[in-house]
């Protein structure tokens, strides 16, 4: 799980008044392929009553090919969510959050993943 979500999910939920958590247990998010951002963003958009148009075909494969590791799917997703303003987390906040919990040599690639997710959403909605 992304360090930001791990540290702040409960606090954020209490601030916005969330009483129900959605995920794999209730079927909102699939049990497999959960690193595919579209499979996570679409149900989140539904829960939040937001319109969501999926990313262009092949985007997940493109992201995994460029990042070379599916573990970055959650960071790509976080960047994508930030671009929709569904998650109050701009680039500087994300960078600050991972600075305290991530080895320095992993910072650049994680920022690249965040930026990739953000750009995918911004390009889709131009």
Give a yes or no: residue 103 inside a domain.
Answer: yes
What is the C-alpha to C-alpha distance for residues 3 and 98, in angstroms, rounded to an integer? 7
Give a yes or no: residue 3 inside a domain.
Answer: no
Give a yes or no: residue 18 inside a domain.
Answer: no
What is the C-alpha to C-alpha distance for residues 75 and 88, in angstroms, rounded to an integer? 15
Domain count, the chain: 1
| pLDDT on residue 115 | 94
Domain of residue 65: give its range: 36-50+59-126
Sequence-distant (≥ 6) Cβ neighbours of residue 64 within 8 angstroms: 70, 72, 73
Give a yes or no: residue 6 inside a domain.
Answer: no
Query: Which pLDDT band, with edges at 50, 70 and 90, does 5 fall under?
Result: low
| pLDDT on residue 107 | 92
| pLDDT on residue 112 | 93
31-76 pLDDT, tens digit per residue, is 665 556 666 677 777 777 777 776 555 556 666 777 787 777 778 8
Give a yes or no: residue 17 inside a domain.
Answer: no
Question: What is the DSSP track for 85-114?
Answer: TSS---HHHHHHHHHTTS-HHHHHHHHHHH
What is the C-alpha to C-alpha distance for residues 54 and 35, in angstroms, rounded to an integer? 15
Give a yes or no: residue 23 inside a domain.
Answer: no
| pLDDT on residue 11 | 67
Give a yes or no: residue 9 inside a domain.
Answer: no
Which of these ranges, 25-29, 91-95, 100-104, has the smallest mean pLDDT?
25-29
The token pair at 88 is 């109050």
What is the C-alpha to C-alpha distance for residues 125 and 76, in angstroms, rounded to an integer? 17
């Amino acid at each position: 799980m992304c360090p930001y979500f791990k540290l702040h999910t409960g606090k954020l939920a209490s601030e916005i008044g969330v009483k129900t958590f959605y995920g794999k247990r209730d079927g909102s998010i699939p049990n497999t392929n959960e690193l595919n951002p579209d499979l996570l963003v679409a149900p989140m958009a539904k829960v939040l009553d937001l319109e969501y148009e999926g990313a262009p075909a092949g985007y997940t494969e493109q992201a995994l090919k460029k990042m070379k590791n599916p573990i970055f799917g959650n960071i790509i997703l976080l960047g994508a969510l930030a671009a929709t303003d569904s998650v109050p987390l701009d680039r500087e906040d994300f960078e600050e959050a991972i600075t305290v919990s991530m080895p320095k040599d992993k910072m650049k690639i994680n920022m690249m993943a965040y930026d990739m997710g953000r750009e995918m959403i911004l390009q889709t909605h131009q």
